[in-house]
Structure formats: C-alpha cells, structure tokens
Amino acid sequence: MVDRIEFEGVPASGGIGIGKTHILEERQDDISPEKIQEEEIQFHVDKCNRAFRKIKEEFIKLKDGTDGEVADIIDAQIESLKDPELYKKILEKIESERYEAEYAIYSTLNEYIHIMENADAEWLNERTIDLMAIRDQLIDAARNRELGGQLEPGSVVFATNVSPTTMIELSRNSIAALVMQKGGLTTHAVILAQSLDIPCVIGVEWKIRRFKNSEEVIVDGEQGLVVVRPLDSEKKKYQKRRKEKEEEAVKFLQVVKKPSETACGKKFKLQANVEFLEELPRVKTHGADGVGLLRTETILFQKTGFDVASQLDFYRKVVDASGDSDVTIRLFDAGGDKLLDDSETEANPFLGWRGIRMLLDKSELLNNQLEAIYKLSGEFKNRIKLLVPMVSCVSEVYRLKEKINEVKEKLNKEDVEFDPNLPVGVMIEVPSVAIMADKIAKEVDFFSIGTNDLTQYTLAVDRGNEKISSLYQPYHPAIWKLIQMTAGGAKKSGIPVTVCGEMASKPKAAACLLGLGIENLSMTTGALPVVKSLLCSQSLKDMRKLSGQVLDANSPEEVIALMDSFGE
C-alpha cells in the first residue's frame, strides 16, 4: 500500500483540480558535453535547424489571438529564436568545438541566461525564465520530445516555475491544475491561471517527496492543498465539492444576467477592479458594469513603457473590453521607492512620497499620463473618469488642476479632441480627506473610497506587518464612521461615491455600504457574482438597518457579529 502524500502551499488560483500527476521535466541533469565525430556534424546541424524551425513555428501559432503584454512576450521569444548571434554561437560549438546539438544549445543559452541573471536591471532578470523556456523547448525538440505529446488532458502539472508561454501552452492542453515550487502571486503564470480558471497552488516543496507520473492527485486551489494518492473518502469529498462548484458557476452565470437591483427594486452599480490585460475577458463574463478602478502602476513597473502611445494602447484595450460602460483610470499610485532612478529609501514609505505627492514632483510622468487620459477621453466620449490617489489636502487638488489645464492648452494648440469636462475624482484613503469630505466635495466630481489604505492609516496599522496583523480590522467602527462622513459630504454637493477597496468585495459589507447610501461598488472580478447575489436578495430597508447598527457598534467584533447574522 502506497502512502498518501500531502503538501501545503499558497493558494494562487481557486477551484478544485482532480487528475493524474504530470511532472514537467527539467533538463539540466541529463545534458553533458558529449563530443561528436566529424561525419556527425551535419546530422547535428540539421537537428539544431529542425529544432529552431519547430519552436519558431510553435511560437508563431501561440501568438495568434493574443494581445497586449502576452503578445509582446511571445514576440520577444520569436525574435530571440531568430537571433543571428545566438545561432552563430551554437553552430560554432557544433562545427568547431564538436559538441552535440543538445549541449551546444544548452550551453550557449546558459551563457545568456547567466548574463541576464546577474544584470542590475530587474526587467532583465525577469527575462531569464523565458530564455530558460526557449532553451528547454529547443532541447526537447532536438530530442523529439514534446511537452504536449505526453501531456494528457486533465493532468495536474508539477513544475518548478512556469514561463508565461509555457502556461499558455499548458492551458491549451486542458490541464486540471498547476502546482509550482516557485512563483509569486503577481507572476504572469499565476495571473494567467486565474484568468483561465485553472486551479493553482504555489510555494509547494513537491520535490522532497517521491511520487511518479500518472498517480492520482487532488489540488484544492482555495486552501492551497495538494494531495497525491488521496484516500477514497477524500476523493469522494472533493468530487462532490467540484460538482458543487460547477453548479455554483452555473448559478453565478444566472446571477450575472439579472438586473442590478435589490429585492425592493433599488438600483446599484457593480464595476471591476482591473490591473492586467489578461483580466479583461472577466469584466464581461462576470457581469461588471465597466471598470471602477483601473490600476496603472503595472504599466510603470512591468516596463511596458509609460510614454503616451504605450499608455493609450493599454487604456484603449481596457475601454474596448468594457462594452458601453465607463472606465475610471487611477493615476500611478506608487511609492517613490519603486522609481528606477530615485534610489533614496524612505523610513516610512507608506507615509511618504507616493501617489499624487510624487506625481506633482515628477512632471514628465504626470504630464504623460494626463495627456494619454485626455486624448483617450476624446476617442471615447463620456466614458472616461480620472481618479487621483493619496490626496491628503485640498491644495493638492488645486495643483493638479493647474497641471490639467496646461495639458488641455497643449492639446488645444495641437488641435486634439478631448473631453473638457472629464470627471476628476479623488481617492478617500487618508482620514483627513474623509473628515473634510464636505469641503473637498465642492472641488471634485466624485469620491472613491480605498478601504484598505483608509484602514491602515486610520488604525495606524501597517498591513504588511505580521506582528500586528490582528490589529488590522477593516470592520472597525471608526472606518465605518469615516465612510459615513465621506458619503454625507458627497451628498451635500451631489457627487457620487464609489467604494473600490476590499470591503466592497465582501457581500455583507457591500450590503452595509449600500445601506449607507453608496450605490457604486468596484471589486476584483471574482467577487462580483457573490456580491451581486446577496445584494439582489435583500431589501434596502434591511441594509439601512444593518448600517445603523454597525455605526452604533463599540468594537470590530460587534460589527463582525452583526454582519454574520445579517440575512440569516
């Protein structure tokens, strides 16, 4: 009797995967510097040419139907395969040094990988995984081995790390789940897994236990659990859970089609928070009414370029994916620590030079983004809004408006069309602006409450500090009071309020927000169906009652208890 093996990891993409193990082989171990005879040279040159041709064709096929960053990544892969220097070096190793094709490919690519790994530029370090993918695929092709050839549909793939291109290929083979030893929650492979609904667990030390290919395995993408050779009872339990999930998905689809209104007919609006192009298909499938928060930091940090043209390109794709609905673009919300050329570190980056504070000092960055957003507003009439992060004082709004006027003048001179009345709103995430909401409301067109930062700034609790993580309480009555003040201040001037923080994605908290008169909620696409389902099933009267009780509560625990019993 073989033993059950259980691994724990970090849940990265939800869902239950049940299938057979498939270990993605690593080639480092079995490639040695084998020498060849003179008469074998041609054979190895041919083998090398065949491998290049095959992988190039595969990438060209893979590129079909992709766009944005994924297409850029694949494009760079194709160019690498066409690289004349790479090819020359490999050929030299075969013809002059008389190494077999596999080793020539392996060692030449490793030279480049080594340079990239040790480069100072972070973006170049990140490219190594793609180059490793090319290396391994070329060697497989030279050996006539195929990734997809042995990969049965329904396999659970175990890998060290997976490149974005391999991930796309795996998904086309209908894998049941992915288990990785490395990788982070924001890596491309994980984001792709999420958008393709492939369960994924990362940070799993699967190599320390022995198991073979084609063994039974269960992956729980919600709990971060991986079980090889599961017990029969476990298998039954998970088969049942998977069936329930499938039924839930069908139910969700029905919810998505329903109109957004409470049981008593009060309308509300649910939008999507978006950061990556890969997430865009979910805006429609999960029933979002446009994009309530488009994060733009990724354009900056993934270095796809933040010149006006690249930004416009990115924004257009987001607007196109949003049907006829509106898109709220938040200006770069980043700390100064992340900017390439400013390496001074701050003692308290969260209380430091970030968001609008940094943008007002970085005119090129700000002007470029404003120009891109205003140009976009000319192309998509009445559908674009601009959101300003980290405002703590009304004078920042005045200064930003001066900058906006400069951009408008420039566009006027260039005879470029734009929306002169583009709505400009501010993030409410610093307590000072929540308290001053009635004054600031007179200067802006809308508010958007970022509950995560509002919580950490109000409670003086660093979200990332594990020692005090229990003190990070988004349901603290103080936060609800600040939200109430914000909603009240907005109402006086008749401007709309959105909540775009994590709070909006919790169904019962969302009900409480609606009770406070906040009718616009923006959240991660995955949460849209559950939130909508609850909001549609309750009456506004009960939601108001809940919010009244919450505002009257003494402690976060009391608020949580009130939420728990709501609607039961």
Partner 1 sequence: MVKKTVTVKNEAGLHARPSSVLVKTASKFNSDFYISMYGYKVNGKSILGVMTLAAECGAEMELIFEGDDEQEALTTISELFENKFERN
Instruction: Give the binding site for partner 1 (CB under 8 A).
Output: 72-73, 75-76, 79-80, 82-86, 112, 115-116, 119-121, 123-124, 127, 131, 303-310, 313, 340-341, 364-365
Please report, in angstroms and rounded to a whole number, the separation of the first and last CA atoms in the chain. 46
Euclidean distance between CA atoms 537 and 566, whole angstroms: 12
Extract the tokens encoding 94: 């075969």
Nearer to partner 1, 115 or 264 (CB): 115
CB of 104 to partner 1, least distance (A): 16
> Which CB, 66 or 456, lies closer to partner 1?
66
Supply the minimum distance, in Å, between the C-beta of residue 321 and partner 1. 19
Query: By C-alpha distance, which of 408, 326, 339, 333 is closest to 367?
Result: 408
Q: At closest approach, how far in Å is the CB of 306 from partner 1?
A: 6
Smallest distance, partner 1 to C-beta of residue 172, A: 23
Q: What angle do CA 378, 380, 386 make, to 5 degrees?
A: 80
Closer of 60 and 121 to partner 1 (Cβ) = 121
List, in sequence order, the alpha helices (H) in 264-362: 280-285, 297-301, 308-320, 356-359
CB under 8 Å to 100, separation ≥6 — which residues?
A: 34, 35, 36, 40, 44, 94
Task: Give the three-state DSSP class for 235.
Answer: helix
Spatial separation of the C-alpha atoms in residues 182 and 131, rounded to whole Å? 17
Smallest separation, CB 534 to partner 1 (Å):
43
- Closer of 77 and 458 to partner 1 (Cβ): 77
User: DSSP states of 402-434 as a string?
Assistant: HHHHHHHHHHHHTT----TT--EEEEE-SHHHH
Q: Which is nearer to partner 1, 365 or 435 (CB)?
A: 365
- Collapse the DSSP code of 275 into the 3-class scheme (helix H, G, I; strand E, B; otherwise coil) and give the result: coil
> Phi and psi at residue 175, in whole multiples of 5°?
-75, 155
343 versus 554: smaller Cβ distance to partner 1? 343
Tell me how crowded residue 65 is: count the other CB atoms within 10 A of its CB: 9
Q: CB of residue 81 vs partner 1: minimum separation in angstroms?
A: 9
Half-sphere exposure for 6 (CA within 13 Å, toward CB) = 8
- Of 341 and 414, nearer to partner 1 (C-beta) is 341
Q: How far is the CB of 342 from partner 1 (least distance, A)?
A: 13
Query: For residues 266 and 269, what is the distance between their CA atoms, to the nearest angstrom?
Result: 10
DSSP 8-state assignment for residue 468:
G
Q: Is the separation of the CB atoms in 291 and 271 below 8 Å? A: yes
- Given the complex with partner 1, which of 82 and 240 has the nearer CB atom? 82
Q: What is the 3-state secondary structure (H, E, C) of 536-568?
A: HHCCHHHHHHHHHHHHCCCCHHHHHHHHHHCCC
In this complex, which beta carbon is closest to partner 1, that of residue 73 or of residue 198? 73
CB of 310 to partner 1, least distance (A): 7
Shortest distance (Å) from residue 112 CB to partner 1: 5
